[in-house]
Amino acid sequence: MTANIRIAILGAGGRMGRALVQAIAGEPRLSLAAAVDRAGIPELGIDAGTLAGVAPRGVPLSADLPAAVRAAEVVVDFTRPEGTLAVLPLCVASGKALVIGTTGFTAPQKQAIEEAARRIPICMAANYSVGVNVCLQLLRTAAQALGPGYDVEIVEAHHRHKVDAPSGTALRMGEAVAEALGRKLADCAVYGREGQTGARDGRTIGFATVRGGDVVGDHTVMFLGEGERVEITHKASSRGNFARGALRAAAWLPGRAPGLYDMQDVLGLR
């Protein structure tokens, strides 16, 4: 099968960007059209395949964002919120689909993405792992079956370089549980405990964050009841599964109506 969907990768010089270039090299439906990163980094001009440890792709790492968007059918963004907000109007103006893997958005930034999704198809997920998205379904089922009598705590661990906390995946897991219990996460989340906190409020959902080493991503949701504990855990050992899921979304988006989709849509789980 010849390549037929042209992909531009934002943040292509980073850990996740390189994993995406590696994954594209093994995906016959897709071709790498552009690889972009921020201006001034020493890797600019180096072939994206060489940076990713695969055969050269004939695509040098560039800082020219508008040119990258023009060259692609789908833009895949794993940068930071300011990078996403920079590419968003370019995708809207040119009618290009966008896959967003960035996390840590503020409410106004999320609103900007939602407004753009009225014009173009956007897939935004806190985690593109197929396994994580199956876990989200399991969490909804567990929360509904166990009910409000179980305390919920979420523990996540990531590498020392991660800049936001809790992780977007942990927050999405909390949202899935809260929705299943008829709550809003914003009203019941507890992000830290210290000192004389008093007895636990049974309606809260607690978060604990661990940062260190090279942990790719571990998430555990605990449902703690009287005499038993149910745990649903996902552990990632490489970024390859995230990259493959993001490219699955990129292959799914072309031709879709404008809208804000996620991996539950891509996988047919909704």
Which residues are tagged catalytic? Answer: 158, 162
Beta-bridged to residue 97, according to DSSP, are 74
User: How does 166-196 read in b/e, with b if 16+ C-beta sit within 10 Å?
Assistant: bbbbbbbbbbbbbebbebebeebbeeeeeee
Expressed in percent and rounded to 5, the helix, strand and coil fractions of the chain are: 35, 25, 40
For residue 33, give the 3-state DSSP assignment: strand
Closest-CA residue to 223 (of 214, 215, 213, 233): 233
Distance CA 188, CA 182 (A): 11
